[in-house]
Structure 1
Amino acid sequence: MVHMNDNALRTVEARIREQAAAYCESDNVPGFVAGVYQAGEQIIVAHGVANVATGAPMLDDTGFLFGSVTKVLTTTLVLQQVERGLLDLDAPVVKYLPEFALTAPGAADKILVRHLVSHTNGIDADLFFPDAKGRDALKTYVDGLASGCGTLFEPGEQLSYSNGGMIVAGRLLEVVTGLPFHDLLARDIYGPVGMKDSCTSAEQAILRGTAVGHFPDPETMAPKPTNRFTLPDTWGPAGGTPIGTIADLLAFGRTHLAGGVSPSGTRVLSAESTALMRQVSYDMDSPNTPPIGLGWVLYPFGDTTVLAMSGASPGGVSLLCVVPEHDLVFAAFGNTPGAIMLQDQLLRWLLTEHLGVRIPTLITEVAQDVDLTPYVGTYRSNQLRVDVSVVEGQLEERMTYEPADASQERIFTEFAGGATAAPPQRYVPIRPGLFAPADYPLEVFDGYLRLLLVSYHDVRDGQARFRNGGGRLTRRA
């Protein structure tokens, strides 16, 4: 247990205030809110505005969309049902959800409950956005998988960040508990953890102060409010709809820090299940993809492991980090996608300056003479195409969004702030199979932004089968 004086956290508070103000000014981030808990003390800092259209200030208790941080909440719910004997991690999903199917006959039958929450399920549904509301939204999602989504790999054979897996897990929870996902979240997480300002809908969020996301205006680069607040209800368990505050996220992080006991003393999860969530369930052994537990991504910063999950929402980004070795929780939200850079700066400052963690350099140099031919080709996943070629001795990637239908195109376009085509990106080799975006200083990749590195995997007959960007796989077409 780390004992600290109140003074140390005051220094942290001043530093966050200073860095947030400087970053928000220079990088057009309208508003930012962050909090740190350590050894019984807690601070929250807010800066700027929650919504540029209204000028409402960002406050300590302003609500925001959790985005994918929700995945750790969903995983916690799954483990609770395992403890209650209603689910078995090693049982096939179809045991509980016989209607679960994918386009390839029999493919869904091999997926275990464990695969859903460890991102090793292979469900190819990363951009599958069926639009449905209300009680049957998750059922609609699962029904749609059978006709619209296949598999990227055999369950357990690779790791690929999986929205689809978490949504299927959410539907599984509804079936075994008889409760809608949102009601279960409120009853078994929000209540016992003490997340008193958390909810799951725009209708509830509007009753209190809530931030909205922003995107840079293509002409002026000034932040403009998003025209979509949440993703559809079909994406609830993956992070589409839950909304809350920094204090609420810190309370959830503290519950995991304390072996499953909430700040009020309520047991939310057993010590065994809490420990299981932070055990490595898959490691790709590639710097751009940290090992994964159940729900948590396990970021190695030297000898210190940071349990983390970040969450994109339309025009916003949240982050929750738990550092068990230092009894620390860090949570943050910024209401434009670029705020991830500020979150990364703050996390690295907390680790190095505040906690004295030595972060080794992840990438020391660029390699020469790497044969680029195994990586050239076209890679695909759900509604996404990546064309890889060699240009002037570097890899060049062109990403194309290939919408399945008009409804999904509309939702994805709003989620992405209107831009669905990225300019081509050049990459320089670090070593065979690992590439860094050109023109980036290499030290950028020591922190959370190691996700910007791209890797290629499973080279057979001189060709890589998979491309990994941001923890997500695309497969050679």
Structure 2
Amino acid sequence: MVKPQCLQTWLETELSRLSDTHEVPGVSVALSSGGHSVEATCGVLNTRTRIAVTPDSLFQIQSITKIFTTALVMQLVDEGLVQLDQPIGTYLPEFRTTDPAASEKVTVRHLLTHTGGFEGDLWQPTTSGPDALDRFVRDLVALAPQHSRPGQRFSYCNAGFGTLGRLVEVLRGTTYEQALRHHLAEPLGIDELAFSADQALAFRTAIGHVRPTPSGPLIPARHWALMPPSNPAAGNQLAMSARGLVRLGNLFLSGASANGVRILSEPSVALTLQPQVRHRQSSVAPTHQGLGWHLPQPEVAEHGGGCPGVATMLLIVPDQNLAAVVLTNADTGAKVARHLLDLVLTELAGMPAAASLPTPGVEVRVADPRPFLGRYSTRQSLLEVTRDGEGRLWLTNEPRNESVTMARLAGATPVTARHEIRPLGPDLFVLIGADGHATSSITFLEQDQERHFSALMTSRVAPRVE
């Protein structure tokens, strides 16, 4: 166990080690434990300018923005303006997907738990003005395919949080940015934040780093913002310092700011951290979805964020009054964040290490591969399951649409990934990494009359397209 007086040295040592190991240009970390706070930084904001990372440096936080949106919605719940199990159409009559009947049943809770059942990765540009979320809901969500019944299953849905952002705008009578600044950032004392590249120029700000080719060197992305400003409520351009973001984590430990200003009621804080939905099938301990928060194990809540060149993570342990933030400016920063926060849980919080995903032997095969073979699709990915001459199954993931656009905008070549998949159960498989170990799991969903699976599930549902 790390002692409080040794925390700063320990954090700086581990951060330097992990950054070197995973080749991350710059990292900023903030940790709050029992009222004691520490900050640590490593590396540079931009390998071209060589400006050092400092505690006040801004990094894009991407999908961690969803926790801000969750807080804004729960404030509306506290004020009696929103009911979680009321259809979202009660507040936004213009809300609809391509399935009108299903749309009428999508509730606020469904959107907060990613169980609305519609395509979530709608990254097309609408406008950059104050009507961005309005246009997002009317022009993009209205064209979203409905792949599951509302409430049927978890499928990560950025579009659902864009819809929640529009809910906040309508009920607050202002833009999402102004609502976040007035109702959260100001009472929390957060002033190191920017919603656009123009605003980010007022701060020391990191830029993402990508590899032009898989084997090429890391270089600064050609553009600071790779995602359009169409959906600020799900996370596209919001940038913050780690020490500012850790205050958001602390909000969900007490419901109040550091100086005691009540921002969320205690019941609302508790509700966000309660398991609402079990995530897809897994061979290890089950994980759950709270309201906004991912619940990877008992007593822990977290949310990550990423896009080409950016990887971030926010973690809290409410029972131990612990909050931690890791912000990085490279894809490989995800490994730094994961490893560092796992160390925080084991070395600082004294929690057992998370169970690792088992790796089936190379000889493990399915008896009949035919139900799995075929193509599955989301807006951003075309997935294909094939069989080789030895009877092994392979999953190919080809980026599509805006995923390709973002990679090229960053200055990188879009890469089609191919991994062997091995079975852990009748419909549960693991992806095998380059080192021969399991990296993640996938689940096949619902067989039709011919026994073909109708969808493939990673963090998103990908329906069969044949």
> Which of 303, 317, 324 lines up with 1:323 in the alignment?
317
> Which of 391, 396, 399 lines up with 2:397 in the alignment?
399
1:380 aligns with 2:377: yes
1:146 CA displacement: 5.4
Query: Given that residues 31 and 58 in structure 1 are in contact (C-alpha distance below 8 angstroms), is that contact kept between their aligned partners in structure 2?
Result: yes
> Which of 310, 329, 347 lines up with 2:304 in the alignment?
310
Count of residue pairs the alignment pairs up: 457
- Structure 1 pair 128–263 and aligned structure 2 pair: CA distance change class (3 A): same
Aligned counterpart, 1:254: 250
1:354 aligns with 2:348: yes
Query: Given that residues 211 and 219 in structure 2 are in contact (C-alpha distance below 8 angstroms), is that contact kept between their aligned partners in structure 1?
Result: yes
Query: Given that residues 428 and 436 in structure 1 are in contact (C-alpha distance below 8 angstroms), is that contact kept between their aligned partners in structure 2?
Result: yes
> Which of 330, 339, 351 lines up with 1:336 in the alignment?
330
Unaligned runs of 5+ in 2: none
1:49 CA displacement: 0.1
Counterpart AA for 1:466:
A
Aligned counterpart, 2:288: 291
- Structure 1 pair 311–393 and aligned structure 2 pair: CA distance change class (3 A): same
Counterpart AA for 2:67:
V
- For 1:401-430, what per-residue CA distance to the aligned partner results, in whole angstroms no more than 9, with x for missing partners? 342xxxx47743347753333232212222
1:278 aligns with 2:273: yes
Q: Which runs of 4+ in 1 moved over 6 A?
A: none
Partners of 1:221 and 1:366 in 2: CA distance: 32
Counterpart AA for 2:329:
N
- For 1:274-293, what per-residue CA distance to the aligned partner results, in whole angstroms no more than 9, with x for missing partners? 11101111103523883101
Q: Secondary structure at the match of 2:422?
A: strand
What does residue range 225-236 of structure 1 map to in structure 2 within 5 Å? 225-230=220-225, 231-236=227-232
1:17 aligns with 2:5: no
1:162 aligns with 2:157: yes
Query: Given that residues 363 and 430 in structure 1 are in contact (C-alpha distance below 8 angstroms), is that contact kept between their aligned partners in structure 2?
Result: no
278-287 or 240-249: bigger deviation: 278-287
1:365 CA displacement: 4.7
CA RMSD between the two structures: 2.3
Query: Given that residues 466 and 473 in structure 1 are in contact (C-alpha distance below 8 angstroms), is that contact kept between their aligned partners in structure 2?
Result: yes
1:335 CA displacement: 0.5
333-342 or 370-379: bigger deviation: 370-379
Aligned counterpart, 2:144: 149
Partners of 1:219 and 1:341 in 2: CA distance: 17
Counterpart AA for 1:398:
T
Counterpart AA for 2:382:
R
Query: Given that residues 65 and 313 in structure 1 are in contact (C-alpha distance below 8 angstroms), is that contact kept between their aligned partners in structure 2?
Result: no
1:431 aligns with 2:431: no
1:440 CA displacement: 5.9
1:29 aligns with 2:2: no
Q: Secondary structure at the match of 1:398?
A: strand
What does residue range 84-123 of structure 1 map to in structure 2 within 5 Å? 84-123=79-118
Counterpart AA for 1:476:
R
The percent of aligned pairs where both chains have the same amino acid is: 28
1:271 CA displacement: 0.5
- Structure 1 pair 52–397 and aligned structure 2 pair: CA distance change class (3 A): same
Q: Secondary structure at the match of 2:193?
A: coil
- For 1:205-230, what per-residue CA distance to the aligned partner results, in whole angstroms no more than 9, with x for missing partners? 21111111110232763221112322
Q: Secondary structure at the match of 2:421?
A: strand
1:356 CA displacement: 2.2
Q: Secondary structure at the match of 1:389?
A: strand
1:60 aligns with 2:55: yes
Partners of 1:121 and 1:71 in 2: CA distance: 15
Counterpart AA for 1:432:
P
Structure 1 length as normaliser, TM-score? Answer: 0.89
62-71 or 455-464: bigger deviation: 455-464
- For 1:351-380, what per-residue CA distance to the aligned partner results, in whole angstroms no more than 9, with x for missing partners? 222222122534345163434433222111
Partners of 1:294 and 1:95 in 2: CA distance: 20
- For 1:261-283, what per-residue CA distance to the aligned partner results, in whole angstroms no more than 9, with x for missing partners? 11121111000111110111110
1:35 CA displacement: 1.7
- Structure 1 pair 390–106 and aligned structure 2 pair: CA distance change class (3 A): same
Query: Given that residues 308 and 407 in structure 2 are in contact (C-alpha distance below 8 angstroms), is that contact kept between their aligned partners in structure 1?
Result: no
Partners of 2:460 and 2:404 in 1: CA distance: 22
Partners of 2:455 and 2:300 in 1: CA distance: 27
Aligned counterpart, 1:412: 406
Query: Given that residues 394 and 421 in structure 2 are in contact (C-alpha distance below 8 angstroms), is that contact kept between their aligned partners in structure 1?
Result: yes
Unaligned runs of 5+ in 1: none
Query: Given that residues 308 and 406 in structure 2 are in contact (C-alpha distance below 8 angstroms), is that contact kept between their aligned partners in structure 1?
Result: no
